[in-house]
Amino acid sequence: MASKSRGTAKRKEAGRDFLTGQLLIAMPNMSDPRFERSVLLMCAHDEQHAMGVIINKPLADVEMSEL
């Protein structure tokens, strides 16, 4: 994954960059089928954890209330 969204300041803690609130765009040569051609919104990111949501692909057979 690559690229950072514009207009959102990078979150810095202890001199490190974190990606919370940033958009990640898969590179054209991404071979992992889970992420190829994906745009991911990073919901949380720190030294130990990372969580994001793919925002340009539908979830099959999952209702939002189930999440």
- Taking only the tens place, the pLDDT of each residue in 25-50 is 999 999 999 899 999 999 999 999 99
Does residue 1 surpass a pLDDT of 90?
no
Does residue 3 surpass a pLDDT of 90?
no
pLDDT for position 16? 66
Superfamily (CATH) of domain 11-58: VC0467-like (3.40.1740.10)
Query: Which runs of E-coded beta strand occur in 1-67?
Result: 11-13, 16-18, 23-25, 39-45, 50-54
pLDDT for position 7? 43
pLDDT band at 2 (very low <50, low <70, confident <90, very high): low
Q: For the whole model, what pTM was predicted?
A: 0.64
Give the start-to-end residue ranges of the domains of the chain.
Answer: 11-58
